[in-house]
């Protein structure tokens, strides 16, 4: 596609079960004209290229074209009881905090002193640092990477940068900080930085310590004082693009992979748009392909089986591509030893967790491991972060690399008050008990760069498992979703 073009016309390739003719005005505000054979054209406007705007677009398309309605606009499944979540931060405390408190890392740095680091996405100042002496009143002390001081290997700029999931830990006499950022080639990588104070300044390494579409790093210091780096291979950000490209080349495969009519129509819409979608920045690609992702993961286990059946019958390049997509449907969490100075990885990475529970669907992420009473307790997030189906799971092991045994129920899930609880961290609270800290959306307001509040709940480690400390009188355990 011509990089200077302002308009584009796309037609569904022959062989698909349905056909669309789509004309796009590429300028913002963007417009779409969608025509089906024998019907009048329908016109849609897109004011911005943000996720809420695309959700509006796909909600309208679902009504008019019979495609899948966005899951982000769907309330969470009903459940009994409620988690004892306490809101800690529900409004921005400074104008430089653009998107709230996503992926929160709460760390106790003194007798009555805590620090909070959060995702900043594409904000000019990367990774706000907030301080509190009681976990109730907070103040902004600065940023890990103030504007103009991000590592040279990171991509910066509005709608280009993604600075995600910072974590800070005391290791020896230093504070080590791990984080996710996009490299100049738009892929995601994990970097490390160090400082003498929890408020910085932080000096980052000259290059990522792990690269190749990886996110959500976590630092664990084991029972012997050895540091480990834990991270997620972000294949769930890869397979939707490869699936859309494959379906564009082989549109007849839609029937083999998707059963419901609305999912088939959703897949045809995605494959028709693909020549335009592949030119977009990574997060905008996700916004456009999100209905395809939800069509594939609505019945994730059966979709994965159909994909594997199709792979077994295919040959040549198509079989190889289907194998890549099939493998990428599994999200893997890795752990690997860090050198004593944290400058390099040692040994080989071990896979310690995969998505294998119905409620997790196509991904798990946001791991935090707490060593307590001789066991390693792992909390993690699962499902799509931008919907009410996001939640927190738990697992435990006797060693940093597992094997980890997952709890049979979701540890924390959405409620009427808060949607999409996720990306946990654990610290000792002001009452001397362990607390889990997490982010969540207000009901009906989930999405990328949408404000996320900081919430907390007391937890305990007993009988080799982690559990929530419940309110008096109260609420039962969050029931399993699936």
HSE-up of residue 83 (Cα within 13 Å, Cβ side)? 31
Q: Residues 138-168, buried b or exposed e (16+ Cβ, 10 A)?
A: bebebbbbeeeebbebbbbeeeebbbbbbbb
Contact 198, 115 (CB under 8 A): yes
pLDDT at site 463: 87
289 DSSP β-pair partners: none
The single-letter DSSP state of residue 412 is B
The single-letter DSSP state of residue 69 is P
Three-state DSSP class for 308? Answer: helix
pLDDT at site 74: 86
pLDDT at site 347: 96
The pTM of the whole model exceeds 0.85: yes
Burial environment of residue 238 by CB neighbours within 10 A (0 to 12, 13 to 18, 19 or more): middle
Beta strands, E only, 157-273: 164-171, 174-182, 188-195, 203-204, 214-221, 227-233
**pLDDT tens-digit readout, 253-301:** 999 999 999 999 999 999 999 999 999 999 999 999 999 999 999 999 9
Query: Taking Cα atoms as reference points, which of 202, 200, 229 lies closest to residue 215?
Result: 229
What sign does the CA torsion over 82, 386, 51, 299 have?
Answer: negative
Domain parsing of the chain, residue ranges: 7-74+237-328, 86-234+331-468
Question: What is the Cα 251 distance to its own chain's centre?
Answer: 29
DSSP 328-374: HTS-EEEEEEEPTTSSSEEEEEEEEEE--SGGGTT-EEEEEEEEETT
- Which option is the CATH number for 86-234+331-468: 3.40.630.10, 2.115.10.20, 3.90.1170.50, 1.10.10.10? 2.115.10.20
Show Cβ contacts of residue 368 under 8 Å, excluding neighbours closer than 6 positions.
Answer: 218, 378, 379, 380, 424, 425, 426
CA distances from 286 to 32, 280, 300 (A): 18, 9, 18
pLDDT at site 180: 98
Antiparallel, parallel or unpaired: β 30-35 and 419-428: unpaired
Contact 217, 165 (CB under 8 A): yes
pLDDT at site 480: 28
Query: Taking Cα atoms as reference points, which of 480, 416, 421 lies closest to residue 454?
Result: 421
The Cα diameter of the chain in Å comes to 72
pLDDT at site 479: 28
Q: How many CB atoms lie within 10 A of CB 431?
A: 9
The arrangement of strands across the sheet holding 391-397 comes to 364-372, 375-382, 391-397, 405-406
Residue owning tokens 């919907």? 387
pLDDT at site 78: 64
Per-residue pLDDT of the chain (482 residues; tens, 9 = 90+): 665 789 999 999 999 999 999 999 999 899 999 999 999 999 999 999 999 999 999 999 999 999 999 999 888 876 644 557 999 999 999 999 999 999 999 999 999 999 999 999 999 999 999 999 999 999 999 999 999 999 999 999 999 999 999 999 999 999 999 999 999 999 999 999 999 999 999 999 999 999 999 999 999 999 999 999 999 999 999 999 999 999 999 999 999 999 999 999 999 999 999 999 999 999 999 999 999 999 999 999 999 999 999 999 999 999 999 999 999 999 999 999 999 999 999 999 999 999 999 999 999 999 999 999 889 999 999 999 999 999 999 999 999 999 999 998 899 999 989 999 999 999 999 999 999 999 999 998 999 999 999 999 999 999 889 999 976 543 333 322 22
């Amino acid at each position: 596609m011509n990089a200077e073009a302002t308009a584009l016309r796309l037609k569904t390739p022959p062989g698909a079960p349905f056909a669309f003719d789509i004309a796009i005005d590429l300028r913002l505000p963007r417009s779409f004209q969608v025509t089906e054979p024998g019907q009048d054209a329908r016109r849609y406007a897109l004011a911005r290229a943000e996720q809420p705007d695309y959700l509006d677009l796909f909600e309208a398309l679902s009504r008019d074209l019979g495609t899948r309605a966005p899951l982000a606009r769907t309330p969470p499944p009903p459940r009994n009881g409620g988690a004892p979540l306490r809101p800690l931060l529900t409004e921005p405390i400074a104008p430089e905090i653009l998107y709230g408190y996503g992926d929160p890392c709460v760390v106790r740095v003194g007798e009555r002193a805590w620090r909070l680091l959060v995702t900043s996405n594409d904000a000019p100042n990367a990774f706000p640092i907030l301080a509190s002496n009681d976990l109730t009143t907070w103040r902004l002390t600065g940023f890990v990477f103030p504007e103009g001081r991000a590592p040279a290997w990171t991509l910066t700029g509005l709608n280009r940068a993604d600075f995600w999931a910072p974590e800070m830990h005391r290791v020896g006499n230093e504070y080590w900080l791990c984080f996710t950022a996009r490299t100049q080639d738009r892929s995601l990588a994990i970097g490390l930085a160090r400082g003498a104070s929890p408020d910085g300044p932080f000096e980052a390494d000259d290059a990522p310590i792990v690269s190749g579409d990886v996110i959500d790093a976590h630092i664990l210091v084991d029972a012997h004082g050895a540091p480990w780096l834990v991270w997620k291979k972000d294949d769930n950000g890869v397979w939707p693009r490869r699936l859309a490209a494959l379906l564009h080349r082989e549109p007849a495969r839609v029937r083999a992979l998707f059963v419901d009519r609305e999912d088939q129509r959703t897949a045809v819409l995605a494959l028709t748009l693909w020549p335009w979608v592949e030119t977009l920045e990574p997060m905008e690609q996700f916004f456009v392909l999100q209905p395809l992702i939800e069509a594939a993961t609505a019945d994730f286990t059966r979709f994965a089986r159909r994909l594997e059946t199709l792979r077994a019958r295919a040959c040549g390049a198509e079989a190889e591509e289907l194998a890549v997509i099939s493998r990428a449907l599994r999200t893997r969490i890795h752990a690997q030893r860090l050198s004593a100075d944290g400058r390099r990885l040692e040994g080989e990475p071990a896979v310690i967790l995969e998505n294998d529970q119905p409620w997790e669907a196509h991904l798990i992420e946001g791991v935090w491991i707490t060593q307590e009473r001789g066991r390693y307790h792992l909390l993690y997030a699962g499902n799509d972060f931008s919907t009410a189906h996001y939640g927190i799971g738990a697992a435990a092991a006797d060693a940093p690399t597992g094997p980890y045994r997952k709890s049979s129920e979701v540890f924390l899930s959405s409620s009427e008050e808060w949607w999409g609880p996720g990306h946990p961290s654990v610290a000792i609270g002001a009452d001397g008990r362990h607390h889990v800290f997490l982010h969540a959306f207000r009901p009906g307001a989930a999405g990328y760069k949408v404000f996320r509040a900081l919430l907390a709940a007391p937890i305990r480690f007993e009988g080799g498992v982690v559990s929530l400390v419940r309110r008096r009188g109260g609420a039962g355990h969050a029931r399993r979703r699936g």
